[in-house]
Each structure stands twice: as structure tokens, then as C-alpha cells.
Structure 1
Amino acid sequence: MTLRSRSDWLKHPRWWALLTLGLALGYALVTALQLSHWGQLPITAAWLLTARALRWGVPSRHAPAKGWPWSLVPLIFWGVYVYLADSFGIVDLGAVLFHLQAGISEHGGGERTIVAILYTLAMLPVLAAFTWLVRHDRRWRLLERLLALVLLATNPLLYGIGQRSAAIVAEEGAWLDQRYVAPVILEAPASPPNLLVIYLESLERTYADRERFGDVYAPLGALGDQGVVFEGVRQVDNTGWTMAGMIASQCGVPLMPAGLLHDSQLEPLEQVVPGVSCLGDLLAGQGYSLTYMGGASKRFAGKGKFYAGHGFSRILGRDDLAPRLTTPDELNSWGLYDDDLYALTVEEIRRLEAKDRPWGLVNLSLATHPPYGYPPEKCRQYQGAFDGTDILYSVECSARMAHDLVKRLAGDGLLKNTLVVLASDHLSMRVSAWEQLTASPRHNTFMLLGNDLAPRRIKVEASTMDVLPTVLEAMGFVIDWHRAGLGVSLLSNEPTLIEQHGLQTLNDQLKRETALHERLWQGFDIGGMAPDDASRTPWLPPETPPAKAAE
């Protein structure tokens, strides 16, 4: 081949179009299947070799067609899915629907907005290349409508929408609702303890594996040695983002979005899961003074509406806390750095301690928020410089700050008669350590400190929905059958739903559940049951619960 012929080959739009499509196909497959990005090269090469062998796009005597391919819209949907999968690791349709309703205008992570723009721009040459191929190759033009249907049917995002739509007309959609136990406090301790809940953003217990992650989890491990550590807390579907994780652990239910069961499915929410009682409702009924504090905006994802509607009298987010900083402008893209948030948390606990009533405070960190985390400058004193991408740096920083916060509060005498809960709000989304995290089953952080609990480790197959009854019993409250919502106290011998039925069964039932969905968003009038469903079979306790293994 002469130099000129090679130049002509490079200038021909056929190979540029095929190369663009091959690169897009390779990237989509390695992202959707969570393969190594090196896998993109052989996929692209296989595509080009196939295109050469079958002579795709070879110029013909016929004039190119002028119509637009039917597959352009399905390709755009696939582009949206690949962006979500690349950004978050696992695409949760529930999270997408909920955030559309609850509000995303005051989100942080501006870098993801830039990435979204880049993805949009990258889709333009892909759509142009596909259009060129269909117009110039009659074989592709004949099969293109069938391809459009295949692309729609195989898109996991659209498949999830189809499953949820089918659930609306399912005859049996009350499997989970029949196992729901309305949270009720039957008896309170003589001196109810205070409660401090520290949610550690995405800081799952999986990081405790020293072989994969070194000592990044060690500060939390040191705290766990002084309390009760639960090993084996899994993540059920619809509990894998911040609001869903907090609702699962405080209400004992998954966050099933209001959309798809209501005509106004994408209108802004006025309330968040108003149909169920949660931790705040129960404690407010016992006379507790309740505060929520988080570094991000309380308007993002309905956090403020959730806490205001479930017993909390003070809800403090970025707009409330930033003016109280010595340097109010020192914020990350989400809000306050955790060292500043924790300093204000100490002040709030001092205020609560001055009151003559029990208190509860829920705190949400930001330092390990995907994809890279937001470690404050303070951590550089111990860990050196942050490279801007290593999530393990942020994990170690967050663990250290949580450890130091608890130690400071205890040293100042602010944790007397107080139960401290440390928990990850959910498992991490896609981060720099994604391949190591997904190499084995993953578990959430959940540990209890104080209130005279004997230090120990409890191995159990559980979910974050079991946190609510466990916390209530750890505080000394007596609850019905050791259960609340879909959870069971992990301090009892009652089996969890995962132990009884398995994680996959729960996730399968979530896809077809309708009754529990309606309960969350509409409320019920007759003993916690729907007015038209008062004859529903009540939940019955198991006869022979297996004992949990304690070490």
C-alpha cells in the first residue's frame, strides 16, 4: 500500500465511523459488565475485524439513504445508562426516580456535572457515526428497526422501569407488607439514654479487610473493640443511596419512590414516607429533643422534609451551619468539611446537654462521598498530601475524624448515659478502589458504643433495615416481638428476613411489591393496614428462630 493510498484510507469516513462505534461499544460493555477498562481494546479490535470481514459501510453504487435511524433514541438511553453505571457503579432506578421528585438542584460534586457534559458531547459523534453507517449500508438499514427494539429491551434502566410498571398490575404485591411490623414502644427504661447517630458516608465495613485496604479502617476498628460490632449487614435494593440508607435504618423499610404509583409521579414531594413511623417519631413521642446535622444542603434529596416530618425539631444543613464557621467560604462542593461539621456537632451536644430532657442527634459526614471524597486539610497532618483521587485516603481520614469525635465527646463528659451508633449510610458507589471492593461480598458498618453494652462481635446475615429495632433495644426500649418495620433486633435471637429468605428473595419481592409501596406514601387508617385491606393476613413470628453467632 502506497503512502497516498494509506492517506486516502484514513480520510475515508467509513473507518472513522466504525472506529467510533467500536470504541463506544467497548466502553459500554466494560462499564455495564464491570470489566477492566483494558477489555475495551480487544472488543474494539473484534468489532473492526468483523466490520472488515463483512465489508460494513463499503461504498456502493446506490445513493445514501436520507432518513434518520430508529435506533438513535435507544442509543441515547444506553448513553444515559453507561454514564450512570460509570458514575455510580450500580444503577439504581429507585434513586433516579426519588431524586427527580425530592430535588437535586442543590447537589454537590460539581465535577460530575462536568463529566455529564463530556458524556453528552461524546454521544454526538457516536450518533453521527451510527447514522452514517445506516445510511450507507443497506444491510444495516434493513436490520436497524429490529436493532432498536433489541437496544430498548436490553437496557437495564428501561428494564427496571418495565418491572416496576408490571408490579402495579400484579395480583400479589403484599409479600413484604405482610411482614411489616409497625414500630411500637411497649415499655421505656426508667432513665432513657441519649442517642448519637453518626452516619459515615459510604464508609462500608468492607474496608476493614487489611489484605485489600491496609489500615485505613483501623480507627473505627479501635472504637469497635469497645462496643458491639455487627458483621454481615448487607444492602437490600432501594437502600443504596443516602436518603434510602437513612430511611432503611431509621424506619425499617426500603425507600420505594412515590413515582409510578401516582399520577403526579414527578411532582415535587411535600413529605417523605409519611405513612410509616420512624426512629424520630418514636423518640419524639418519648419526649426527646431531636437534631439533624449534615454538611450538605438539607434541601437536597428531601433530607429536610424527611426529618421535619418525623419528629426532629432542629434540622441544620449547609446554609444554617456555614455562617457559623470562622471562615465561611472554606467549603467543598457539597458543603462543610467534616472537621468543621464535627466541631459544630460538639457545640450542639453541649446545647442539648443543658436541657432537662433526653436528646437525640443524627449526624451525616461527607469526607468519603464518591467518587474521590472530600478530606479536610486537617488530615494532611497525619496522612500527607491528598492526590485528589485515592478514596482510601478519604476513608482513613473519615475513620480517624469519627474516632477523634467520639473520644473528644467522651473526654468532655458529653456521652454519659448515651448510646453512640456508627453506621455507613450505604455501600460505596464507584470509586478508585472499586475493583477491590467488588471482589467479594460487601457489608455495611454498624457498631454500638456505650449504654453499658458489653463489647462483642456479632456475626449475622442482616440488612440496614435491622438497625432500627436494634438501636431501640440497645437503648433499653421494649418493642413488639423484637421487631420494627421489616427489621429485627440483632441483639435478640429472632431471625432476620435475610436469614429466613435470603437477600435475593427480598430483592425479587421488592420488584413486585405494591402494598408496602402504598403504605410508605399514603398512610393507612385501620391498625396500620389499608382501609380496603383490613382482612390481610397479619404477620406471625417464627416458631424456631436460629441463634446468632457471637464472639
Structure 2
Amino acid sequence: MPCHQLPVTLRHPRWWALLAIGLSVGYAIVTVSRLPTWALPIIAGAWLGAGWLLRWGAPRHPRPRTRVWPWSLLPMALLGIYVYLNDSFGIVDLGAIFFHLQAGMSDHGGSDRLVAAVLYTLSMAAMMAAFTWLVRVDHRWRLFERLLALILLASNPLLYGMSQRGAAIVTDDGAWLDRRYVEPIILEVPESPPNLLLLYLESIERTYADGERFGDAYADLEVLGKQGHVFEGVRQLDNTGWTMAGKIASQCGTPLMPAGLLHDRQFSPLDKVVPGVNCLGDLLAEQGYRLSYLGGASTAFAGKGLFYEGHGFDTVMGREELVPRLDDPDYVNNWGLFDDSLYDFTAEEIRRLETEGEGPWGVVNLSIAGHAPNGYPARSCRERQGEFDGVDILYSVKCSAWLARDLVERLEEEGLLENTLVMIASDHLTMRVSAWDQLTAGERDNTFMILGPGIEGGTRTRREASMVDLFPTLLEAMGFTIDGHRAGLGASLLAGPDEQTLVERHGLEPLNARMREENALQQRLWEGLVPDRPQDSEGEESPPTDEQVVESPHDATGETPASVQ
């Protein structure tokens, strides 16, 4: 081709259309397969080469253009949604999506993901316009694209997950997990019940403790662990992989199976969160505990406020309540408070509980420094660790670990942790971050450690467990006697190997498979929000039928449809 013809050729819409499609195909492959970024231009170049060789958009024997709309547009859009979610969170968790849609997601701080969503939408629009042009001008693509539509639908993991969940409608046994649920009951109370401090460290999984892969990012938590009992092997079940799901698993002993699209008010927002089960707050409130929750983000997001207010907590404070109390009202992030501010307010709340009223107290706290994709390191961490590049998640992990250690040590120095059990745990495994390839290179587990009276320092227990096992373990660590060392679906990790966890007995993947068929446990969680099962003429519960409520699909993203940190 003569050089003087090249600019004219490149101005032809054929090449711009092929380039838009090639870049989109390359980006999707790189994102889903985790190939290095430099593979994208190679894939796009290969696409353009194939287009030149096969004369896509300029057949040798063209037929008249036809104004048609490709069948593949909708499957492409659905696949684009999957790629966006995969890029944002690493694991696409449909359960998280359904739950956040119903529990509330308007007061999130994910402005960065909103921008990304707009860019994705514009890119998808350009790609679909290019594909429509190609189908209209090249009759070969008109013949092929209907088959392409079927291929895209069949290969979309998003639709595959939804079809698996739909199988719960006709399953032979949708009550397998529900039969293993043990009602949480406190049988005996210690003479002097301890106070309780629960520190949830957003996305700070124990996997970061591997110094060879992650350096000293987790070092401050290792120091705290030497003062208490560290549990290893706490895996992530389906429907426990985002913040509220991890909290409910560890405080209620059950995965968070969203109310689904078939509850009695359809798409109406929820006004209660898992009202059908008793959780940690319910049990402690019955024992006279004064309970408080503090978090830097809005309590309206993802039903956090609804959950705690509905399960025994007297005080629930989030962004709306705490930001007005800041000395510097501009010292906030997209979600709300930085963790150094939050921990100062947490210490204030503990002082208040210590001086006001009688009886034990309980405080639950949720950090945000380690939230994917980059974290929100606090000002005090930047002063200590130096400049933050805005990307390195290990910087944020180190910040979160240090702030947690600093808070515990400050409270100890003030004498505020006398007769107090401290639990430190990740709320779930992290979503896609800068260290994603290293994290996913091997088995991953959640942080879980307890410190305080009766806990022997330097103790480590490795058991195959999940977040539901934290609930009974915590109750027994506080000195309460519970029924058979069990609560909800969990087994106490302090009871010894004879009391097997569900993961030890059945394995993680078989449990996840059961989750996809379960609807009775879902009905238990949302009792009063989902229709009761039909009963036969003798009042006995009828077997599952195709009218049963379908369990909402499971996860990922995690934690919020906003990537955040």
C-alpha cells in the first residue's frame, strides 16, 4: 500500500470500528484472565490483523447494507457488566448485588467507582455502535452474530450464577443447611461477664501475614496476636464475602442469604435485616449489656443501622452522627471518617460506657483504611509511613494494622480494657487490589484473634473453619455456656477437634454447592418478609415446591457495589 494512501485508509470507519471492538475484546480478556496489561495491545493488534486478513467490514463481494439491530447487543451489555464487576471487585458476588439493592446503597462513598462506571458505559456504547456498524455493512457478521449471541450468553459467569440460584426453586432438598442450624442459647453466665470490644478491620485478611509476599504490612497485628489467641484457617463461604455478610456471619452464625426478589414486597427497600434469627447483640442485650456500634461510613448504607438497631444495640453512630463532632470537618474521605478519627471516638464511647451506668458494655467498630481497591490511609499513618502513592494496598494494610494496635494499647494504658475481651477480625477477604495476584496465588483466610481475660497469650489454633464459627467461639471466649458448643451454623473453635465445623466435616465447596440450593435457611433469616411455606392439611410443613423463595445469588464484590476502600 503506497504511503500517501495510508491516512485516507485510516480515516475509513472500518478501522475505527475494528479498533474499538479490538480494544474492548483485549480489555475484557486481560481483566478476566488477569493477563498483564501489556497483553491488551497485542490482543487488539491480533484482532486488527484478523480484520485486515479477512476483510471484516469490506468483503470482496459485498451485499447491500441492511439496517438491522444485532441480537448480540444485549448479551454484550451483560458481559460488559460482568467485566466491570470483575475489574472492580475481583470476584463477582451476585448476593452482594441483590442485598445492597434492597438494603440501601445511596449513601456510599464510591465516587471513584461511579466515575469508572461512566467510563465503562461510554466505552461499551462505542464498542456496541462499532459492532452494529460492522454487522450492517458485512453480511458475514450478520450470519454469525446470532450464534455469537448464544455463545456470549452461555459463557457469561453472571448468568451462570443466576441460573444456579434459580435451581433452588425445584431442588429436592432446600433445607439442608437449615437442619444444621442451632438456635443460639446462653445456658450459663459467668459470675462477672466481661466487656466486649469487636474491631472489624475492613478487608485485612490474615493472608497478609505472609512476610515473603507482603513484607511487614501485617506486622502490628502479629504483635497483638502474641498477646492472645490467633485462629488460622478461617475460610470464606459463599454469602459471607462483603461487609454486612461478614458481620452477620460472625455475629449471627449464618451466611447472609439476601431476601431475594420474591419476598412479599418485591423490590421495596428492607426495613429489617435478618429479623428471623437471634444474633450476638440480641443475646448480650438480654444479659444487660449496653451496646454501641461506631463506623466511619453511613449507617444507612447496606442496612448497617437497620441491623444493629434491630438486634439489641442502644447506640448506633456512623458518618452522619460523627462528622459534626470532628475538630476539622474537612478531614473526611468519600465514605466518611478516617480511622484515626473513628478510633478516637471509639475511645470516647468506651470512656462514656465505663463512667455511665452499670453492667458490662459491648462496642463494635468497623474500620475503612484497608478497603479495596487502594485503601484510605489516615493522616497519622501518612505522617508515620511517608507519602502514599494512592495505589499500594500494602501501605493501607500496614496503616490499618498499626492503628488497631495503637488503639488497643492506648485503651490498655488508660485501664479501659480491664475485664474486657477484644476480638480483632477481618470482615471478609479483600476484593481486587494492587496485590491481587499475590493474594490469589494460594489459600486465603480471614483474620481472627481474641485477647483478654482467660485467653492464654501466644496461642495459635489452625482449623478449617469459616466466619460463622466466630459467633460461638466468641460466646465461649466470654465465658458463656452454649448448647453443644454451637450457635447458628457455627461450632466453637475453642471446643476442640471433636466438635467439627461444617467446613471440616463437609468441605468448603460442597457447602457452597448446598448454599446454591438452600431456601429454608433464607426463609428463617427473613421471617416476616418472605412468605411462609405452605402447610398440608395436618399443619405439617410441605416439602419444597416451585413456589418457594429462591436464594439470591452469591459472591462477591464485594463489599459494596462501590469499590471504595
- TM-score range (shorter-chain normalised) is over 0.9
Q: Distance in 2 between matches of 1:472 and 1:529?
A: 32
Q: Quickly say closer, same or farther: Cα 1:357–1:505, change in 2 above 3 A.
A: same
Question: Which one-letter code corresponds to 2:474 in the other structure?
Answer: V
475, 478, 488: which one pairs with 1:485?
Answer: 488
Question: Which one-letter code corresponds to 1:98 in the other structure?
Answer: F
Q: Secondary structure at the match of 1:332?
A: coil
Q: Distance in 2 between matches of 1:236 and 1:174?
A: 17
Contact 1:367 1:395 in 2 (8 A): yes
Question: Which one-letter code corresponds to 1:465 in the other structure?
Answer: V
> Mind listing any 5+ residue stretches in structure 1 that lack a counterpart?
537-551
Q: Distance in 1 between matches of 2:350 and 2:391?
A: 34
**RCO greater where, 1 or 2, for CA within 8 Å and sep 6 or more?**
2
CA deviations over 1:19-75 (Å, ceiling 9, x no partner):
221211121122123333233233333333333333322244422110111111111
Contact 2:76 2:152 in 1 (8 A): yes
Equivalent position of 1:14 in the other structure: 14
Q: Distance in 1 between matches of 2:387 and 2:92?
A: 32
Equivalent position of 1:32 in the other structure: 32
Equivalent position of 1:510 in the other structure: 515
Question: Which one-letter code corresponds to 2:370 in the other structure?
Answer: T
Matches within 5 A, 1:152-171: 152-171=153-172
Question: In the TM superposition, what is the alpha-carbon distance from 1:109 to its structure 2 partner?
Answer: 2.5
Q: Distance in 2 between matches of 1:534 and 1:413?
A: 54
Contact 2:245 2:255 in 1 (8 A): yes
Q: Secondary structure at the match of 1:232?
A: strand
Question: Which one-letter code corresponds to 2:258 in the other structure?
Answer: P
Q: Quickly say closer, same or farther: Cα 1:511–1:502, change in 2 above 3 A.
A: same
TM norm structure 1: 0.94
Q: Distance in 2 between matches of 1:285 and 1:342?
A: 27
Q: Secondary structure at the match of 1:343?
A: helix
- Does residue 521 (structure 1) correspond to residue 526 (structure 2)? The answer is yes
CA deviations over 1:142-164 (Å, ceiling 9, x no partner):
22222222212221112222222
Contact 2:186 2:480 in 1 (8 A): yes
Contact 1:168 1:261 in 2 (8 A): no
Equivalent position of 2:259 in the other structure: 258
Contact 1:251 1:468 in 2 (8 A): yes
Contact 1:228 1:453 in 2 (8 A): yes
Q: Quickly say closer, same or farther: Cα 1:84–1:500, change in 2 above 3 A.
A: same
Question: Which one-letter code corresponds to 1:438 in the other structure?
Answer: T
Matches within 5 A, 1:265-414: 265-354=266-355, 355-414=357-416
Contact 1:519 1:530 in 2 (8 A): no
Matches within 5 A, 1:526-537: none
Contact 1:239 1:426 in 2 (8 A): yes
Q: Distance in 1 between matches of 2:484 and 2:272?
A: 29
Q: Distance in 2 between matches of 1:304 and 1:383?
A: 34
Q: Distance in 2 between matches of 1:36 and 1:533?
A: 58
Which stretch of the first structure deviates more once superposed, 27-36 or 16-25? 27-36
Q: Secondary structure at the match of 2:526?
A: helix
Question: Which one-letter code corresponds to 1:369 in the other structure?
Answer: H
Question: Which one-letter code corresponds to 2:27 in the other structure?
Answer: Y
Identity of aligned residues (%): 63
- Does residue 501 (structure 1) correspond to residue 501 (structure 2)? The answer is no
Question: In the TM superposition, what is the alpha-carbon distance from 1:473 to its structure 2 partner?
Answer: 0.3
Q: Secondary structure at the match of 2:197?
A: strand
Question: Which one-letter code corresponds to 1:377 in the other structure?
Answer: R
Which stretch of the first structure deviates more once superposed, 33-42 or 299-308? 33-42
Contact 1:294 1:317 in 2 (8 A): yes
Matches within 5 A, 1:20-59: 20-59=20-59
Question: In the TM superposition, what is the alpha-carbon distance from 1:529 to its structure 2 partner?
Answer: 11
Q: Distance in 2 between matches of 1:533 and 1:468?
A: 31
442, 467, 471: which one pairs with 1:468?
Answer: 471
Equivalent position of 1:66 in the other structure: 67
Q: Distance in 1 between matches of 2:126 and 2:29?
A: 18
Q: Secondary structure at the match of 1:150?
A: helix
Q: Distance in 2 between matches of 1:515 and 1:130?
A: 45
Q: Quickly say closer, same or farther: Cα 1:180–1:533, change in 2 above 3 A.
A: farther
Q: Secondary structure at the match of 1:37?
A: coil
> Mind listing any 5+ residue stretches in structure 2 that lack a counterpart?
544-565
Equivalent position of 2:241 in the other structure: 240
Contact 1:165 1:260 in 2 (8 A): no
Q: Distance in 2 between matches of 1:421 and 1:203?
A: 14
Contact 1:101 1:265 in 2 (8 A): no
Q: Distance in 2 between matches of 1:265 and 1:327?
A: 43
Which stretch of the first structure deviates more once superposed, 413-422 or 75-84? 75-84
Matches within 5 A, 1:152-191: 152-191=153-192
Q: Quickly say closer, same or farther: Cα 1:530–1:337, change in 2 above 3 A.
A: farther
Q: Secondary structure at the match of 2:38?
A: helix
Question: In the TM superposition, what is the alpha-carbon distance from 1:381 to its structure 2 partner?
Answer: 2.2
CA deviations over 1:56-99 (Å, ceiling 9, x no partner):
22244422110111111111111111111111111100000000
Equivalent position of 2:422 in the other structure: 420
Contact 1:338 1:376 in 2 (8 A): yes
Count of paired positions: 533
Q: Distance in 2 between matches of 1:415 and 1:277?
A: 27
Q: Distance in 2 between matches of 1:264 and 1:93?
A: 20
Equivalent position of 2:142 in the other structure: 141
Equivalent position of 1:225 in the other structure: 226
Q: Secondary structure at the match of 2:516?
A: helix
Equivalent position of 1:431 in the other structure: 433
Question: Which one-letter code corresponds to 2:153 in the other structure?
Answer: L
Equivalent position of 2:454 in the other structure: 452
Question: Which one-letter code corresponds to 2:489 in the other structure?
Answer: L
Q: Distance in 2 between matches of 1:17 and 1:72?
A: 15
Question: In the TM superposition, what is the alpha-carbon distance from 1:132 to its structure 2 partner?
Answer: 1.1
Question: In the TM superposition, what is the alpha-carbon distance from 1:414 to its structure 2 partner?
Answer: 0.5
Contact 2:534 2:542 in 1 (8 A): no
Q: Quickly say closer, same or farther: Cα 1:523–1:285, change in 2 above 3 A.
A: farther
State the superposition RMSD in angstroms. Answer: 1.8
Question: In the TM superposition, what is the alpha-carbon distance from 1:141 to its structure 2 partner?
Answer: 0.6
Question: Which one-letter code corresponds to 1:56 in the other structure?
Answer: W
Equivalent position of 1:547 in the other structure: none
Q: Secondary structure at the match of 2:114?
A: helix
Contact 2:62 2:138 in 1 (8 A): no
Question: Which one-letter code corresponds to 1:383 in the other structure?
Answer: Q
Contact 1:164 1:260 in 2 (8 A): no
Question: Which one-letter code corresponds to 2:272 in the other structure?
Answer: Q
Q: Secondary structure at the match of 1:512?
A: coil
CA deviations over 1:363-399 (Å, ceiling 9, x no partner):
0001111111111111122211111111111111111
Q: Quickly say closer, same or farther: Cα 1:81–1:529, change in 2 above 3 A.
A: closer
Question: In the TM superposition, what is the alpha-carbon distance from 1:263 to its structure 2 partner?
Answer: 5.0
CA deviations over 1:414-464 (Å, ceiling 9, x no partner):
001110000000011111111111111111100000122112000111111
Q: Secondary structure at the match of 2:128?
A: helix
Contact 1:276 1:523 in 2 (8 A): no
